[in-house]
Structures are given as C-alpha cells and as structure tokens.
Amino acid sequence: MKRHKTDKDWYNKTKELEEGWKRTQADFENYRKRSEVERGEILEIMKADFLAKITPVLDNFRRAFEHAPDDDFARGIKHIEKQLEDILLSEGLQKIPATAGTKFDPNLHEAISCEENHKIPGDHIIAETESGWMFDGKVIKPAKVRVSKGK
C-alpha cells in the first residue's frame, strides 16, 4: 500500500524548496555585485596601462619644443600638446612634481644620475629628464631625474 504525503509533508518540502531558492537568489546577487566590482577594477587597470603608454608622447612634445623655433606653427603644436595633457588630466592622470630643488623621493622619482652641484643641496632634484605620472593615487611612471649629491 502506497503512503500519501500529508499536508504537513508538502508544507515542509515547499518551505525547504523556498529557502533553497532564496539562498540561491542571494548567492546570485552577491556574485553579480562582486563581478561588477571586479569589472570596475579591471577597467581601472586597463585605463592606467593606457595612460602610462601615452605619457611618453608628452615628454617627446616637450623635447621637441626645446629645439623648435618660436613661430605660429610651433605655438599651434604647443596648443595640441596642451589639449592632449588636459584630456589626460581630466581622466585622472596626475603629474609628479619634479622641479629643480624639489626633495628627491624614491617612491616618486627614479634617479638616473647623482651629480655634484654647488647650488642645489644633496638629495634634491637638479632637473627632470622624463615626467612622472600617477593614476588613482598610484605611481604608474616615476619621474626620471638628476639628483644632487651636494658639494
């Protein structure tokens, strides 16, 4: 003789399935949120990588202008450089300060030489040879600098 399930058995089974469904729904929502965060992090990494690849163009503009005549054409190209830099800055890129006399910071600067200098004290920057850049509070390219070792 076959035993029939009671209303209580059906109720318990329905409750068990409902709780399992709610757990699965919560797990999926957590997965969706986690995936969204990870996708944002990956996009930020890709953006930082792209910005790091394009920053040498700004250095090359600067080097070119050191030898360019002061005419309308050069001024026009200088405006294009400024436009590019403004776009990069609006995307979150930040220039690392590395002017002459600035204290050398190994977290931000890469010393390419250490030279005697009577005007600039030791452990201070003599000159920047390549710009340094940060994105989202992280150094993506240290500033390449010449450093004074003093007298």
Each residue's pLDDT, cut to its tens digit, for the chain (151 residues) gives 455 567 788 888 889 999 999 999 999 999 999 999 999 999 999 999 999 999 999 999 989 988 989 899 999 999 999 999 999 999 999 999 999 999 999 999 999 999 999 899 999 999 999 999 999 999 999 999 999 987 7
- The full set of domains in the chain, from first to last, is 7-148 (2.30.22.10)
pTM, two decimal places: 0.74
CB 58 within 8 A of CB 131: yes
The Cα–Cα gap between 124 and 147 comes to: 6
